Amino acid sequence: EVQLVESGGGLVQPGGSLRLSCAGSGFTFSSYWMHWVRQAPGKGLMWVSRIKSDGSRPSHADSVKGRFTISRDNAKNTLYLQMNSLRVEDTGVYYCARDPDSNGYSWFDPWGQGTLVTVSS
Amino acid sequence: DIQMTQSPSSLSASVGDRVTITCRASQIIRNYLNWYQQKPGKAPNLLIYAASSLQSGVPSRFSGSGSGTDFTLTIRSLQPEDFATYYCQQSYSTPYTFGQGTKLEIK
């Protein structure tokens, strides 16, 4: 069974840091692009970051650029999101998602169950 | 950034109804358009990719159409498990953007 499991969320003060992890299983992790998507409480979905299958070409939304860094360890089948200088508006559930990047087309499937990040003093 | 606008934002319907949700992109995105379903407290679930391709395991009552800037998600004969929030998402260029969501409620 293809599965993604996030961890690392929690309560952090503004200006603090967190590192999220996403463990993949049931598929060849190193063959897929991966993404982070977040959802603020009661709000819609916002794409955060993506990374190519080999760990190259990281890309981030402007709102997190310079503060968040996506990375991966294919030997450990794990995706990461290092989040620094956290702001209250970064609060939300963070999902990782797999992307087949099939013939140039991208979609997110499956998604992990999400991990909640709360930035508050 | 490409803006995605869904309509309606909410919709009331009955079991057995046919419903259509529309999504408009602020620029041409060819058929780089995906649809997701999200139920409360759960992660989104892919329904349609590349505008009209049905994801494996998704019931055939779901269908997608459109190209360019205008897209539709149609649910034929609503079932009780279909009451959820639906999002469109463009994958034409980063940042990949989502519509604001359409909440489908039971009438």
DSSP string of A52-104, one letter each residue: -TTS---EE-TTTTTTEEEEEETTTTEEEEEE-S--GGG-EEEEEEEE--BTT
Smallest CA-to-CA distance from B61 within B87, B79, B49 is with: B79
- Distances in Å between the Cα of B41 and the Cα atoms of A116, B38, B44, B85 are 11, 8, 10, 11
d(CA B43, CA B52): 22
Closest to B87 (Cβ–Cβ): which among A45, A105, A114? A45
- Tokens 């892919």 identify what position? B46
In this predicted structure, the answer to whether residue B9 has a pLDDT above a threshold of 90 is: yes
Q: Do B98 and A47 touch (CB under 8 A)?
A: yes
Q: What is the Rg, in whole angstroms, of the alpha carbon atoms belonging to chain B?
A: 13
| Average pLDDT value over all residues in chain B | 97
Closest to B95 (Cβ–Cβ): which among A61, A107, A108? A61
Could you tell me which chain A residue has the CA closest to the CA of B31?
A105
Residue contacts between A and B (CB atoms, under 8 Å)? 57
- Distances in Å between the Cα of A24 and the Cα atoms of A27, A28, A47, B37 are 7, 9, 19, 22
pLDDT of residue A25: 98
| Phi, psi at A103, each rounded to 5° | 55, 35
- Tokens 């602020």 identify what position? B26
Residue A76 C-alpha, separation from nearest chain B C-alpha, in angstroms = 24
Q: Are residues A51 and A104 in contact, defined by beta-carbon separation less than 8 angstroms?
A: no
pLDDT of residue B90: 98
The list of chain A residues with pLDDT below 70 reads none
A100 Rama sector, left if φ>0, alpha if ψ -120 to 50, beta otherwise: alpha
pLDDT of residue B53: 97
pLDDT of residue A100: 87
Could you tell me which chain B residue has the CA closest to the CA of A43?
B100
The residue that leads in pLDDT, B49 or B107, is: B49
d(CA B75, CA B54): 12
Q: Is B55 part of the contact surface with chain A (CB cutoff 8 Å)? A: yes
Q: Which of A5, A45, A94 to mutate to test the interface with B (most CBs of B within 10 A)?
A: A45
pLDDT of residue A103: 80
Q: Tell me the per-residue pLDDT of B66-101, one tens digit each, with 9 for 90 and over.
A: 999 999 999 999 999 999 999 999 999 999 999 999
With a pLDDT cut of 90, the percent of chain B lying above it is: 98
| Phi, psi at A60, each rounded to 5° | -135, 155
d(CA A38, CA A49): 10
pLDDT of residue A101: 80
